[in-house]
Amino acid sequence: MKVEVDLNKCQDHGQCVYAAPALFALDDQGRLSLRTQATDVYVANVDKANAEELYEAAEVCPLQAITVQE
Ligand code: SF4
């Protein structure tokens, strides 16, 4: 499965970090750490073992910045 994070929508609220700490983190400045790996849209494969966390993160993101693809 794949995750897409639209970093233009994301406002670093961090709810995804609480919902899926294995997948998301904030950096020292309180910004989503994925920003160092992409500028606009971060795309990555995610192990199905983390599916539940990933869907939870997508659901709680207040900006709907996280998209999950099977
Ligand atoms: S919950 Fe959404 S807006 Fe907040 S840091 Fe995660 S992706 Fe960004």
Contact between 58 and 24 (Cβ < 8 Å) = no
65 lines ligand 1 (CB under 6 A): yes
**With pLDDT > 90 as the criterion, what percentage of the chain qualifies?**
97
| Residue pLDDT, tens place only, 23-32 | 999 999 999 9
For residue 51, the SS3 value is: helix
10 lines ligand 1 (CB under 6 A): yes
Listed in sequence order, the residues at least 6 apart from 4 whose beta carbon sits closer than 8 Å to its beta carbon are: 41, 42, 43, 66, 67, 68, 69
Q: Is the pTM of this model over 0.75?
A: yes
Contact between 65 and 9 (Cβ < 8 Å) = yes
3 lines ligand 1 (CB under 6 A): no
Range of the domain at 15: 2-69
34 lines ligand 1 (CB under 6 A): no
Task: Give DSSP secondary structure letters for 21-47.
Answer: TTT--B-TTSSBGGGGT-SSEEEEE--
Atom 6 of ligand 1: nearest residue by CA position: 16
Tally of structural domains, the chain? 1
CATH of the domain at 64: 3.30.70.20
